[in-house]
Structure 1
Amino acid sequence: MLARVIFHLDMNSFFASVEVAKDPSLSGKPLAIAGNPKERKGIIVTSTYEARAKGIKTTMPIWQAKKLCPELIVLPPNGDSYRKASQAIFDILLSYTPNVQQVSIDEGYMDVTDMTDIHPVHLAKQIQKRIFEELRLPCSIGIAPNKFLAKMASDMKKPNGITIVRKRDVPQVLWPMPIEEMHGIGRRTVEKWKKTSIYTIGDLAMADKELLLKKFGDRGLKLQERANGIDHRKVDPNAYSRFKSIGHSKTLHVDTANREVIHDTFSTLAVRVQHRLHEKKVCAYGVQITIRYFDWKMITRSKKLDDPIHSEQDLLKEAKRMFEQAWNGERVRLLGISTYDLIDQQYAYKQLDLFSYKEDEKKERLQQTLIDLQKKFGDASVQKGYRKKVNDDDKH
């Protein structure tokens, strides 16, 4: 059987690089992208390597970054420019093979196993050169027999690196690395791994399976396989857009124009949609509501968001806002919330703010606690406000 050849392409300082490509006078200068730069309270989302050399880091407040680097240029995010650049990048990749899996706005996998007429390194150099010449954007490419190793390889040389990691290289190359540098280990779980005496990727590779199962469940065993260089996942061209939408709708027992009942129904829907988003590990760039009136007339309203959302609070806020704008005051028979333009949670991008960033972390922990309680004791165990009995009509 022919060994697979997988590329992982990762754009370097993508948002900042797009700004430099648009304005070449920024080239070679310390540049950062941050939310709310005018008020100096925003958080750094990404920065050029020149800025990183001055100590600038992601999630650092602007005021602190400016202290470290007074000449730092700070620009607000430009979502349209980034999406257009992303589309152009993936158009280039798809010109080589249809076996391309986008995983975020600025990274993706390619399965080039069948491209036997060119050496993988030469092909990687060709792709890297073409993206830079056509779009003025730098990237790093990892080459390996599977997705995990390709991802790890692409992180090893930045910017403009091309790195090969073979399975036989794993003990020498990967095992000495700290556990927090392993793809798939969340920053919030690092301390839990260390408390289990797993400090390096090698420690994980050699760990007792029963201990891993007890402490981390099936996920622990899966990560141990990857620490040993084993990953059977295929490059899936449809994965990025597989979840077209996730939503729920409810029919009320009695047609109503009572705003409190309507808002409470939306609250119930938001909880259930949030559960589904959490289960699928996705966030949404789009929210849509459905209103069916007593006379069966039905309308929908939707909104595209700058930042992806997944929490009950954010879903409810958007749903209520759209409802208040669309409602004609007549009695309502059915309400629905659905989400679309979904993206994997780990790749979701948010324009972080100094205050909302810390609040988001608290919200995330609270949300997980609520989900755990509701899973254990049912949806009714944690509720807010007035509840009216409604029927589940639909979910998708």
Structure 2
Amino acid sequence: MSKWYPKNGRVIFHVDMNSFYASVEMAYDPSLKTKAIAIAGNPEERRGIIVTSSYEARAKGVKTTMPLWQARRLCPELIVLPPNFERYRKMSRELFKIMAEITDLVQPVSIDEGYIDVTDCSHLGSPIEIASQLQQRLKAELDLPCSIGIAPNKFLAKMGSDMKKPMGITIIRKRELKDVLWPLDIGEMHGVGEKTKAKFNDQNIYTIQDLVDADPYLLKRVFGVNGVRLQQKAKGEDKRPVDPDAVFEFKSIGNSETLPEDTVEEATILGLLRKLSKKVSERLIRKEVVGQTVQLMIRYYDRKTITRSITLAKFLHQEQAIYQVAVDLFETHWNNEPIRLLGVTVQGLVDKSEIVEQLDLFHYQEMLKDEGLQRTIDQLTERYGKTTFKKLQSTTEQQPRTSFQKDFLDDYRTSK
């Protein structure tokens, strides 16, 4: 077994459940198997949108965020179901329990995916044997299919799990990157979205190989430190550990500043909010993290201090999005008395590379208001304004449970 477990390296799995919500529905109702099904908000209304779909539906062109009317046009036999939140939570808890029986080194990153470090599990067999047994057990006990990537680090494991779906197991070794990874389109690289892909293409970077060969100075100039980090990952370098405690971390980045004098001048106040939002955004981008909650602190002339926050349905890091939320908080809670200090903080930070683009099921009603829905709520916020997907709260109140993914992580913390 020693040949499968390097002395100075790691063996990491990325376990990604296949079409999770649809698969859960099929597990509860076997008559749905092999049929084209979709989970959609407001399935009775023409303006509903697709949250996820089975592979049979995807084969007909049905995609996430697609308007329901369009999906039915492509696939007339489509069976549309409303989301069942508790059902998905229950299944998720069960699948992570099974993973935890292999090792304590399990790191959930969303309701349907997680990393497992099996470096010290040679007593259970080879990595491929452990992965196969896990895959078979999830299918046998929960009737849920999954794909598993096996690699020496998290990035390569994630890339591996995406390569064979459904029910695939893919091993990526560093010595195989030239043949397995580098020929892929740059848009297939984990961490590269549509906008970043377009920027790469502008620099004549079309494949992962092109990124590997690119001038690091060019990457840093055009993309900042993130460009260099993406190049390192493309080369197979990723030192991030599988951290079971990551789900328990509550991180934040914030900035505050005292005004030269107490003021009620709105232009001055908004100018400071813009400045603070810019500073916070720069730090988030530099650390490659995103957050879901924006907090505003207001200290008045008499030192009375209040904090108010909003939890969004989507993660954010851009200056404009942070500023819009901060301004909304200010306009809602300012009592018109002179202000001495302002602070802006983004909380609930998560590594940007770990974020999976999934629709927020608790907010699908609002998301249905426009059939030209963009993939990210950040884009929606920029387009439609600052009140599209928000729940208001006082910091003395219980945080509203606005994101299905965040709900799951909260539940996972509580169950540990």
TM-score range with shorter-chain normalisation? Answer: 0.7 to 0.9
1:249 paired to 2:266: no
Q: What's the counterpart of residue 408 of structure 2? A: none
Q: Equivalent residue of 1:357, what SS?
A: coil
CA distance in 2, matches of 1:329, 1:147: 50
**1:80-91 paired onto structure 2 within 5 Å:** 85-91=91-97
CA distance in 2, matches of 1:343, 1:322: 23
1:10-59 Cα shifts (integer Å, max 9, x gaps): 12123333444566554443233456656645654432112111111234
CA contact (8 A) 1:212 1:221 kept: no
Give, in angstroms, the shift of residue 155 of structure 1.
Answer: 1.6
1:117-170 Cα shifts (integer Å, max 9, x gaps): 112223223333444455543221112233333222212221122222334444
CA contact (8 A) 1:79 1:306 kept: no
Moved more, 10-19 or 219-228: 219-228
1:226-268 Cα shifts (integer Å, max 9, x gaps): 5554544433344556561122223333334555654554344
- Structure 1 counterpart of 2:305, one-letter code: M
Query: For 1:336, which of 329, 343, 356 is the aligned residue?
Result: 343
CA distance in 2, matches of 1:83, 1:338: 29
CA distance in 1, matches of 2:247, 2:38: 28
CA distance in 2, matches of 1:329, 1:196: 50
CA contact (8 A) 1:240 1:343 kept: no
Q: What's the counterpart of residue 70 of structure 2? A: 64
Q: What's the counterpart of residue 355 of structure 1? A: 372
**1:257-336 paired onto structure 2 within 5 Å:** 257=264, 261-336=268-343
1:182-240 Cα shifts (integer Å, max 9, x gaps): 334443344555566655445555x3xxx432542476665555555454443334455
CA distance in 1, matches of 2:184, 2:123: 35
The 1:335–1:134 alpha-carbon spacing in structure 2 relative to 1, beyond 3 Å, is farther
1:306-340 Cα shifts (integer Å, max 9, x gaps): 33333444434444444455445544333323222
- Structure 2 counterpart of 1:212, one-letter code: D
CA contact (8 A) 2:296 2:307 kept: yes
Q: What's the counterpart of residue 155 of structure 1? A: 162
The 1:318–1:231 alpha-carbon spacing in structure 2 relative to 1, beyond 3 Å, is closer
CA distance in 2, matches of 1:57, 1:144: 29
Q: What's the counterpart of residue 219 of structure 2? A: 216
CA distance in 2, matches of 1:220, 1:266: 29
The 1:8–1:303 alpha-carbon spacing in structure 2 relative to 1, beyond 3 Å, is same
CA contact (8 A) 1:31 1:73 kept: yes
Alpha-carbon RMSD across the aligned residues, in angstroms, is 3.8
1:100-124 Cα shifts (integer Å, max 9, x gaps): 3334443222111111111222322
TM-score (norm 2): 0.70
Give, in angstroms, the shift of residue 9 of structure 1.
Answer: 0.9
CA distance in 2, matches of 1:336, 1:274: 13
Q: Equivalent residue of 1:355, what SS?
A: coil
CA distance in 1, matches of 2:279, 2:42: 32
Query: For 2:20, which of 6, 14, 26 is the aligned residue?
Result: 14
Query: May I ask how many residue pairs the two structures share in their alignment?
Result: 361
Q: Equivalent residue of 1:117, what SS?
A: helix
1:127 paired to 2:123: no
1:68-90 Cα shifts (integer Å, max 9, x gaps): 01233445666676566545544
The 1:326–1:81 alpha-carbon spacing in structure 2 relative to 1, beyond 3 Å, is farther
- Structure 2 counterpart of 1:287, one-letter code: V
Give, in angstroms, the shift of residue 92 of structure 1.
Answer: 3.7
Moved more, 350-359 or 309-318: 350-359
CA distance in 2, matches of 1:317, 1:330: 21
CA contact (8 A) 1:201 1:227 kept: yes
CA contact (8 A) 2:65 2:373 kept: no
CA distance in 1, matches of 2:345, 2:54: 37
CA contact (8 A) 2:291 2:346 kept: yes
CA contact (8 A) 1:212 1:220 kept: no
% identical aligned pairs? 53
Query: For 1:101, which of 107, 124, 128 is the aligned residue?
Result: 107
Query: For 2:37, which of 31, 53, 77 is the aligned residue?
Result: 31
The 1:39–1:329 alpha-carbon spacing in structure 2 relative to 1, beyond 3 Å, is farther
CA distance in 1, matches of 2:269, 2:16: 45
Q: Which runs of 5+ in 1 are unaligned?
A: 366-396
CA distance in 2, matches of 1:264, 1:222: 33
